[in-house]
Amino acid sequence: MQFTERDVRSQDGSHALSRVLSVCCRAMTDGIRKKEKHAPGAGLPFCEGWFLRRIACPLLMRTCSVEKATERIRRIGGEMVADAKSLSREALVTKVRIRRPFGLEHSSTNWSVAMVLEHLVFVGSVFGKVIERLSNGKVPRMVIDPGQAKPRGELENPIEAFQSWLDGYLEKIAATDLVAHPELCHPHPWVGELDAREWHVFNSAHLGVHRKQLNRVIAGLREQTTGR
């Protein structure tokens, strides 16, 4: 959506009025663009998204094995659970505005630790279903929409929910042949077509991004407590 000077120029051709309205229209357009940029599901900044899709993700897929991805998910997941358990209930649900790490949308920079865990449970469950279907020789029908993956505060105990997801996911991965059907892929809107093994590797990278997010949220909580 964009406003132009032509849309609002007065019929009598008043130059002064036209300039005033033009400035107003540009301000409105800039405001709309900023709002759209920060909307859930808006994606990453252009250059960052291009780098992720064209360089970082392809490189990751060539260098990261299933075993390495699995161990990374196990390690990072365990660290996140330990950090979350160290917080009080109040701190767990307190939102903190953070500096955006690479790979994180602008709309996700004001979350609590509980919100991070809830997001990971939801997204991790979706990724798991995609991996399961591809490994069984079936193409998933679901559409991956990052805008629908934002936390809603619906988990009564996000730490237990995340631990349960983590244990279940790792158990299923251990029992799944991720390279059984490399010809079958399913698209992620940010990085393109991925097979079952690549979805698992991407999941490890996704968890890593939110590990950085959680670290910054906890650091923000500590700054609030110490008053620095």
Task: For helices 158-174 and 113-135, give the axis angle rounded to 10 degrees.
Answer: 20
Both tokens of 149, joined, read 């993956």
More confident residue, 51 or 32: 51
- The pLDDT assigned to 81 comes to 98
- The pLDDT assigned to 228 comes to 55
Mean pLDDT of 160-182: 98
- The pLDDT assigned to 34 comes to 44
User: In the structure, what pLDDT confidence band is assigned to residue 96 with cuts at 50, 70 and 90?
Assistant: very high
Residue partners of 135: CB distance under 8 A and separation at least 6? 176, 177, 178, 180, 181, 196
Confirm if 104 and 98 have CB atoms less than 8 A apart: no
How much is the pTM? 0.82
Cα distances from 26 to residues 22, 23, 100, in angstroms, run 6, 5, 27
pLDDT digit string, tens, across residues 104-116: 999 999 999 999 9
- Please state, for a pLDDT cut of 90, what percent of the chain lies above it: 75
- The pLDDT assigned to 19 comes to 58
